Structure 1
Amino acid sequence: MMKTLLQSLLIVAFLGLLSACKSSDLNFTKKDVESSQKLVGLDIDEKYFGDMHRYLGRNRAGYDSMRKYPINNETFPALTFDPHPTGFEYPAIRETNNQWKIPTGTPLPESDAEIAFLSIPELADLLRSKKLSSERLTKIYLDRIDRFDGQLLSVITVTRELALKQAKQADREIQSGNYKGLLHGIPYGVKDLIAVKGYPTTWGAAPYKDQMIDYTGTVVKKLEEKGAVLIAKLVSGSLARGDVWFGGKTKNPWDLKQGASGSSAGPGSATAAGLVAFSLGTETLGSITSPSTRNGITGLRPTYGRVSRNGTMSLSWSMDKIGPMCRSAEDCEIVFDAIYGKDDLDPTTNDVAFHQVKKSASQLKVAYLKDDIMADSSSSMGKNLIKGLEVLKGLGVNPSAVSLPKNYPFNVFDIILRAEAGAFFDELVYSKEVDNMVEQNYGSRANSLRQSRFIPAVEYLQANRQRRQLIDDVHQIFKDYDVIIAPSFRGRQLFITNLTGHPVVSIPTGFDNRGRPTSMTFIGNLYDEGSILALAKAYQAETDFDEKHPPLFSKADQ
């Protein structure tokens, strides 16, 4: 009886849908169907338009009915992206023994500015030895935000009350001998795509500037457990695009006439200017790498699925990653160790452990993207990268030349990002709230979201089939090496490695003729952040670019 009733209900629903889709009721014509072919390159015979018109009307009614059912921001599609190449085996499970040496006897600098630019291990020594309190350190950074962010526009929300509460708690715990490790009492900021209960999460966009999300993202909770102190929500370019948000344009502290690049513009600018000790950014197609380069800091984009995105705005479920943006590779390693890992609230995460790599630079198997590097060899970025290669060769690195795959439709792969973003922001477009976003030009996020509705599902799936082949081809190149050296955001590596999910670290290599920072990128195999960080640390031990800070923001306080 139940089966018969269910069948009857399905038949009634189907007939009702067909009834709602009579040709006379539709608000589009057969001529519209014929014209729409041009958008996707079809040429269907006119005699089929009548039946197609009715079928498309049925589809349309289904779409309209589906929008009546709300979807939670945290709901991933049932089709979850798998970045693993054919035959991939997860690294063998072994006990982690990650350790960082906290220096002893770190002198307390005379000026607050000097304190603000100390590394995480140096700050940890001062806090653990009680030469410096977390409350004082927190107030130093809060004061710098008050003094300097008017020029930078890197902070959306100061979490002052929460920060001082956490700092005082850290001081009590350290005083009583309950020291939680290197991040205990260290102030930081997060990109404002990440939810923090009690504070706005604006996503950098005017339609969401008053949005309150009633829970805290997993990464922030993990840092809370380590005793870190959250002092600010930092600028995201509007809906994770560029460095423009509803409050203006975030600036590069090395050149205030230039934007900080995006979309992790706030983390890049604030970290470089010493407004926070470290920060968290997100990347879908370059949003950690690009602002790290522009602002002269070190940024780690982990393997896809390494860090939970629970509580974080989705731009592309199959491409989004969260990673640390710091002033050195060692700081990135420390922060990454605190935030990675399995989270049941993010179905893409896993239990693969992170291991520090203890090999010297000469023991690592290294390659470099010769064609991509030489194509840019005349620019300041390229020249400094080539100098960086010479530094690494001086450390015993003997890189092999390799090339990335070329025979792929790279000009169409970004439909994956755009289609997924269109799904997440469907209501924004249909409500026309998208019209209230600040940027409304050809390349704006608003325009990208509008056009996403014209991406056929078939083409989205075809692009993902090509992506699967790309993953296998890239693996065949990378599997024989620990590190691949590449330009940071020129050439195809940034696009390709975001599609395949490989980890990268971007590190400063000097300056151009205007005094603006340059960088290079190390690419690693899936789950092998340890090797790229090991080589980055070796490079930074030989150079001092990671110790350079914007003059306007690093001079001693008067």
Structure 2
Amino acid sequence: MITYLFSKTCFSRYYPLLLFISLLLGLPAFAQNTIEKEHLQKAERLLDLQFTESERDSALSDVALYLRIYQAIHKQSLKNWESPALLFDPLPVGKKINPIQKPVNWLIPNDVKLPQNKNDLAFYSIPQLASLIKNKKITSLELTQFFLQRIKTWGDTLQCIVSLTEEIAIKQAKQADEEIRQGKYRGILHGIPYGIKDLLAVPNTKTTWGAGSHKEQVIDQIATVVSKLEAAGAVMVAKLTLGELAMGDVWFGGKTKNPWDLKQGSSGSSAGSASATAAGLVPFSIGTETWGSIVSPSTRCGTTGLRPTFGRVSRYGAMALSWSLDKIGPITRSAEDAAIVFDVIRGTDGKDKTVKDFPFNYTGKVDFKKLQIGYLKNNFDSLKEASIELQTIETLKKLGADIQPVNFQTSVPTNIINVILMSEAAAAFDELTRTDQDELLVQQSKNSWSNFFRAARFIPAVEYINANRLRMKMIEEIDAIVSQYDVLISPNFQNNFSAITNLTGHPVVVVPNGFKDGKPTSISFLGNLYDEATILAVAKIFQDATDFDEKHPNKFK
């Protein structure tokens, strides 16, 4: 009935009824002359449409009504973290995930000693630090103060710190020490310091989102990721920089630096998380990714980054950029450390409805003879014969892997990610645009959020929905390829690899695999949906056989 009432052939007949409905709903009374036919004709060019004069005449009043509805919506206050009643699910129709969770045992070595040069502690792994704390060779408070001092020494150099959470850290470290003294050991992260990307809310601290428009913002929430780490006994020492509103490495306080080359930015948007972890200012950190924001800064800074499957980690308490693309994951210095942190932060919380409780059966061991491994041939074809990426393939073959070429492609145009991401981002920051608060953002160029938000207002809802319909087709096509393998290997940023895998929600772990001109390079391991365990295990074996993850920028040793 509603469809019939709003059809263009009967609007004039039911105009009095529609006027009554609009008043009943609290909408402003609409005037048929608010929108003129020439407005529609000009707008058609923006939408790849061409109507006849009679079609425009029939649609005119409907468009005027929609305008009034938009105006009524604009009078409602929507917070960034209030999500739409639409949920993205990356699982293809009929696909099943093994629900059985096996025990995951983290091995904490007993023979770890304090280094003669205390600064070496900055690059100890999580199991090494856990051994020192559990065996009472160092207290959590001592370790926390060590990292706090490193942050105070190098944080400004790298411009990677938004705020030092020293008071919180000291309190949490003292609590960890007391619990361990009483024999209440919570697990491998107990007493270990870490930093978080400053789009995760923590009560009584500023959560700036890296933006001048929000640099005094305090949100009375605790992000689920933070509460899970707190429950594991980890110690939060800092909130780390991000490119403003989660793009790039420029924030309201400057530009976050690459520890390997201070003349270069760290990339983003998890700029501070990668920079601080690479420089040994924190043992590990938390980043987020919508379209490359874990992979890109990890590549630039030489860290190991895990972008989990969409719907693995709750985003409650995190700034929303794109509800169907945002993901949270660890940035560490090794695949094993990434697995440890991921195991703590994954899982449902009853607040983010996209999250599923699928198992994470990580052992850190794989039998290459039983694994189907491929490399994305079309992504490697453009590389030079002696490239670092191809050397990575050879290393894995020497370890026993049988690696087959794979043609990784989709019939769906990958630039649909622009329509989906920009539509959702513009909605998430709608009020910022309409109130001109976007003028407070540092970046005001053509390729900045302020412009992207404005331009996205001209993306029709019909095109956004159709882009998501195509996205479902892409998911089916890519899953048909990925599901034939346990692991697929790809260079980063080749042939829209990042766009495709972010749209489909597949997990990726990126690891350093060499150096070029004195700066790190990286490779990505792509896995099946909800199978982070396999790609992390393969990444660990690669790192055990090489030393790229053990290289650190000299200035910060």
What TM-score do you get using the length of structure 2 for normalisation? Answer: 0.94
Tell me whether 1:23 sits opposite 2:40 in the alignment. Answer: no
Rounded Cα–Cα distance in structure 2 between residues aligned with 1:19 and 1:504: 49
Rounded Cα–Cα distance in structure 2 between residues aligned with 1:112 and 1:55: 71
For residue 4 of structure 1, what is the aligned residue in structure 2?
A: none
Deviations 1:432-484 (A, max 9, x none): 10111110111111111111110011110111111101100111101111100
Rounded Cα–Cα distance in structure 2 between residues aligned with 1:59 and 1:81: 26
Structure 1 residue identity aligned to 2:324: S
Of 543, 546, 549, 1:540 maps to: 543
Q: Is the contact made by 1:236 and 1:243 (CA closer than 8 Å) also made in structure 2?
A: yes
Of 490, 493, 497, 1:486 maps to: 490
Q: Is the contact made by 1:368 and 1:486 (CA closer than 8 Å) also made in structure 2?
A: yes
For residue 553 of structure 1, what is the aligned residue in structure 2?
A: 556
For residue 299 of structure 2, what is the aligned residue in structure 1?
A: 293
Query: In the TM superposition, what are the counterparts of 1:329-408 in structure 2 within 5 Å?
Result: 329-357=335-363, 358-377=365-384, 383-408=387-412
For residue 88 of structure 2, what is the aligned residue in structure 1?
A: 81
For residue 155 of structure 1, what is the aligned residue in structure 2?
A: 161
Distance 1:42 1:146, change over 3 A: same
For residue 12 of structure 1, what is the aligned residue in structure 2?
A: 20
Rounded Cα–Cα distance in structure 2 between residues aligned with 1:239 and 1:429: 13
Q: Is the contact made by 1:362 and 1:395 (CA closer than 8 Å) also made in structure 2?
A: no
Deviations 1:462-517 (A, max 9, x none): 111111011001111011111000012222221111000000000000110x2110
Q: Is the contact made by 1:364 and 1:531 (CA closer than 8 Å) also made in structure 2?
A: no
Rounded Cα–Cα distance in structure 2 between residues aligned with 1:18 and 1:335: 49
Q: Is the contact made by 1:191 and 1:267 (CA closer than 8 Å) also made in structure 2?
A: yes
Rounded Cα–Cα distance in structure 1 between residues aligned with 2:74 and 2:203: 28
> Percent identity among equivalent residues?
49
For residue 3 of structure 1, what is the aligned residue in structure 2?
A: none
For residue 508 of structure 2, what is the aligned residue in structure 1?
A: 504
Q: Is the contact made by 2:423 and 2:456 (CA closer than 8 Å) also made in structure 1?
A: yes
Rounded Cα–Cα distance in structure 2 between residues aligned with 1:113 and 1:491: 41
Deviation at 1:22, TM superposition (A): 1.3
Rounded Cα–Cα distance in structure 1 between residues aligned with 2:436 and 2:452: 14
Q: Is the contact made by 1:284 and 1:498 (CA closer than 8 Å) also made in structure 2?
A: yes
Rounded Cα–Cα distance in structure 2 between residues aligned with 1:456 and 1:207: 27
What TM-score do you get using the length of structure 1 for normalisation? Answer: 0.94
Distance 1:85 1:171, change over 3 A: same
Gaps of 5+ in 1: 1-7
Q: Is the contact made by 1:367 and 1:400 (CA closer than 8 Å) also made in structure 2?
A: yes
Q: Which moved more, 1:276-285 or 1:80-89?
A: 80-89
Rounded Cα–Cα distance in structure 2 between residues aligned with 1:314 and 1:117: 32
Deviation at 1:9, TM superposition (A): 10
Of 241, 246, 256, 1:235 maps to: 241
Distance 1:19 1:214, change over 3 A: closer
Secondary structure of 2:543's counterpart equals helix
Query: In the TM superposition, what are the counterparts of 1:80-119 in structure 2 within 5 Å?
Result: 80-91=87-98, 93-119=99-125
Structure 2 residue identity aligned to 1:546: D
Secondary structure of 2:238's counterpart equals strand
Query: In the TM superposition, what are the counterparts of 1:394-473 in structure 2 within 5 Å?
Result: 394-473=398-477
Tell me whether 1:245 sits opposite 2:248 in the alignment. Answer: no
Q: Which moved more, 1:402-411 or 1:289-298?
A: 402-411
Secondary structure of 1:389's counterpart equals helix
Q: Is the contact made by 1:203 and 1:240 (CA closer than 8 Å) also made in structure 2?
A: yes
Structure 1 residue identity aligned to 2:513: T
Deviations 1:206-247 (A, max 9, x none): 110000000110000000000000001101111110111111
Query: In the TM superposition, what are the counterparts of 1:302-321 in structure 2 within 5 Å?
Result: 302-321=308-327
Structure 1 residue identity aligned to 2:31: K
Q: Which moved more, 1:111-120 or 1:334-343?
A: 111-120
Q: Is the contact made by 1:343 and 1:350 (CA closer than 8 Å) also made in structure 2?
A: no
Deviations 1:134-172 (A, max 9, x none): 111111111111111111101101101000100111111
Deviation at 1:11, TM superposition (A): 6.7
Structure 1 residue identity aligned to 2:29: A
Of 38, 56, 59, 1:52 maps to: 59
Tell me whether 1:495 sits opposite 2:499 in the alignment. Answer: yes
Secondary structure of 1:454's counterpart equals coil
For residue 133 of structure 2, what is the aligned residue in structure 1?
A: 127
Secondary structure of 1:409's counterpart equals coil
Pairs aligned (count) = 540
Of 334, 349, 354, 1:328 maps to: 334
Distance 1:48 1:180, change over 3 A: same
For residue 12 of structure 2, what is the aligned residue in structure 1?
A: none
Rounded Cα–Cα distance in structure 2 between residues aligned with 1:183 and 1:483: 28
